[in-house]
């Protein structure tokens, strides 16, 4: 993709623990186009956040990242820490899940925004302050002048998340990683924040990668979506395509688990089995042990392949995957 702003190729992330190395992200390749909202969906612990942290260069030292993360054509893996710091908060910014804990309790909210500006721009404090006030107004904080010096605890959760988003937008980043930005908020506030993100995208043309486990949020906001399971990326498609015709058995099971209006109370559908242990994950497709269509070939990692122009799937059921896996499939399988 020529207009890709972020390209991940064969990204692996492992964590060294006392019990062995955890494979948190395995061979993830994806590409985010400039200006789009790309959703990354999957259950807790599937590697969504780890992937975002790897992009930001914020993983702890116990993590090892391999593969390639290119942002605006620049390779980020192996970039010196100071260069990464200059990108963070400037070209790439991040919104965290819980606004109750992602703002410094001993720091006035306005100054947290101003700090983001002065960390990257050689500007006067008064200029940073003016810009912070404008941002606060921009994200819908009433009376920004009065609010500027407030400590975070004086604001409600929704207001805090607006501040966090204002901070993320401070330097007009090209890419914003939003890690479960609405999960800690109640439903009304959730929809306000989603409206805000949609509105900001429209006005500022910021590319957003939205990480969530909530398919409803994906449906409301995203253009395309990648589905992750146990560290592997199993399917990428446009949002309408995912909901209309999910191809990967995991995506299908995930959508089938969504409660509907006609459902009997107390009869939620679940996916039988459990997520494999990522310290010694089974070879091949990690969903195999829970998959109703499991085959012998599933012990070989299925490559992510184009079923159509904008629908990629990594499952041996797919003709495209079989096609892509044929020449090198045996070699890949041997390595895994």
Partner 1 sequence: MSVAIPNVPARTSRRRGILTSRKGRVGFAILLALIAIAAFAPLIAPHDPNAIDAARILAPPDLAHPFGSDALGRDVLSRVIYAYRVSLGVAVGSTLLAFLFGVPLGLYAGYHGGWVDTLIMRPIDMVLALPALLLAVALIAIIGPGSDVALLAIAVIYLPILARVVRSSTLVVASQTYVEAARARGTPSRRIITRHVLPNAIGPAIVQATILMGFALQIEAALSFLGLGAQPPTSSLGVMLADGRDFLTQAPWIEIFPGVAIAITVLAFNFFGDGLRTRLDPRGVAR
Asked if 101 and 95 count as a contact pair (C-beta separation under 8 A), the reply is no
Residue 88 interacting with partner 1 (CB under 8 A): yes
> Which of 48, 120, 201, 286 lies at the binding interface for partner 1 (CB under 8 A)?
120
Site size toward partner 1, by CB under 8 A: 31
Q: Which of 24, 25, 54, 56 binds partner 1 (CB under 8 A)?
A: 56
Give the shortest CB-189-to-partner 1 separation in angstroms. Answer: 19
- Of the pair 68, 183, the CB lying nearest partner 1 is at 183
CB-CB contact of 321 with 314 (8 Å): yes
Residue 167 near residue 113 (C-beta atoms within 8 A): yes
φ/ψ of residue 228, rounded to 5:
-110, 145
Nearest to 249 by CA among 289, 281, 299, 300: 289
Q: Which stretch binds partner 1 (CB under 8 A): 12-20, 88-96, 211-219, 277-285?
A: 88-96
Assess contact for 79 and 90: CB atoms under 8 A. Answer: no
**Of 103-111, 187-195, 201-209, 304-312, which part binds partner 1 (CB under 8 A)?**
103-111
Helix, strand, coil share of the chain (percent; to 5): 35, 25, 40
If residue 202 lies in a helix (H) or strand (E), which one and from where to where? helix 187-204
Is 145 an interacting residue with respect to partner 1 (CB under 8 A)? no
Tally DSSP H helices, then E strands, for the chain.
Answer: 11, 12
CB of 305 to partner 1, least distance (A): 34
CA dist., res. 100 & res. 239, Å (int): 30
Stretch that binds partner 1, among 30-38, 98-106, 220-228, 286-294 (CB under 8 A): 98-106
Tell me if 153 contacts partner 1 by CB under 8 A: yes
Taking the C-alpha atoms of residue 216 and residue 209, their distance in angstroms, rounded to an integer, is 16
Does 167 contact partner 1 by CB under 8 A? yes
Name the one range near partner 1 by CB under 8 A: 1-9, 163-171, 206-214, 223-231. Answer: 163-171
Q: Which residues bind partner 1 (CB under 8 A)?
A: 56, 58, 61, 85-90, 93-94, 96-98, 101-107, 112, 115-116, 119-120, 151, 153, 164, 167, 170
């Amino acid at each position: 993709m020529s207009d890709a702003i972020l390209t991940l190729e064969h990204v692996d992330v492992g964590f060294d623990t006392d019990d062995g190395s955890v494979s948190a992200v395995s061979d993830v390749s994806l590409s985010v186009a400039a200006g789009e909202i790309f959703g990354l969906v999957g259950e807790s612990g599937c590697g969504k956040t780890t992937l975002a942290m790897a992009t930001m260069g914020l993983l702890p030292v116990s993590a090892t990242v391999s593969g390639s993360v290119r942002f605006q054509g620049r390779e980020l893996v192996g970039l010196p820490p100071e260069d990464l710091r200059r990108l963070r908060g400037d070209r790439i910014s991040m919104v965290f899940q819980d606004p109750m804990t992602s703002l410094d309790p001993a720091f006035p909210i306005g100054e947290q925004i101003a700090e983001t500006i002065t960390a990257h721009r050689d500007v006067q404090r008064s200029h940073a302050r003016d810009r912070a006030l404008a941002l606060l107004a921009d994200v819908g904080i009433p009376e920004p002048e009065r609010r500027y010096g407030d400590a975070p605890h004086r604001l409600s959760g929704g207001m805090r998340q607006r501040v966090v988003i204002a901070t993320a937008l401070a330097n007009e980043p090209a890419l914003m990683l939003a890690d479960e930005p609405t999960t800690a908020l109640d439903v009304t506030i959730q929809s306000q924040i989603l409206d805000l993100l949609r509105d900001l995208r429209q006005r500022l043309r910021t590319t957003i990668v939205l990480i969530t486990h909530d398919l409803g949020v994906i449906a409301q906001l995203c253009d395309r979506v990648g589905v992750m399971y146990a560290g592997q990326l199993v399917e990428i498609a446009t949002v309408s395509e995912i909901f209309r015709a999910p191809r990967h058995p995991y995506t299908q099971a995930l959508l089938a688990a969504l409660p509907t209006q006609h459902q009997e109370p107390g009869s939620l559908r679940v996916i039988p089995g459990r997520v494999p242990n990522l310290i010694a994950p089974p070879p091949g497709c990690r969903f195999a042990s829970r998959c109703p269509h499991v085959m012998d070939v599933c012990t070989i990692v299925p490559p992510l392949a184009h079923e159509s122009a904008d629908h990629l799937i990594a499952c041996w059921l797919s003709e495209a995957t079989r096609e892509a896996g044929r020449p090198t499939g045996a070699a890949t399988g041997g390595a895994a």
